[in-house]
Copies of this chain bind each other. A is one copy, B any other.
Amino acid sequence: MFSRACQYAIRAAVLIALEGRNKRRMSLVEIAERTGSPRAFTAKVLQQLARAGILESTKGPNGGFDLPPAKAKKVKLSMVVKAIDGDQVYRGCGMGLPYCNPKKPCPLHDHFQEVRDELRDMLEGTDLHTLSLGLEKGKAFLKR
């Protein structure tokens, strides 16, 4: 469904949103540790998110990545996914036909449309702040 890079991005982004509520900035090392993701690779992913304007990065001692709650409420999951994987997963044709559309659909078009729409609605309707709430209550986890 999503690439590994994208999965790491989501994990990291939710965690950063969580700590952003404590006005904390998170270092790469801490993020990688708490999400169980490979450090150097996660760095690349976080750079992509920062370049996409999804989160802020700061160099130097006490630097790291941060995302204040006000912004976390505005960042939808779809933005994270799009920044890493593009939007084919929730917009493209299930059979991979580049020209598939309602006028000239693939055989799977109608069946797949519902699934894709539900995925898109979910991604566009879920923000990082909301997801971080589940984490704080200890009802959800990022690592074994």
Contact = CB atoms under 8 A, between A and B. Distances in A.
A59 interface: no
Interface string A128-144: 00011011000111111
Q: How many copies does the complex hold?
A: 2
A7 B97 CA distance: 9
A96 interface: yes
Interface string A86-118: 001100101111010000111111011011001
Interface residues of A, number: 40
A10 to B, nearest CB: 5
A2 interface: yes
A4 interface: yes
A90 B126 CA distance: 20
B141 A96 contact: no
Contact of A1 (B77, B94, B114, B131): B94
Interface string A34-75: 000000000000000000000000000000000000000000
Given A95-B11, A114-B122, A115-B122, A108 B89 contact: no
Interface of A: 1-2, 4, 7, 10-11, 14, 77, 88-89, 92, 94-97, 99, 104-109, 111-112, 114-115, 118-119, 122, 126, 131-132, 134-135, 139-144
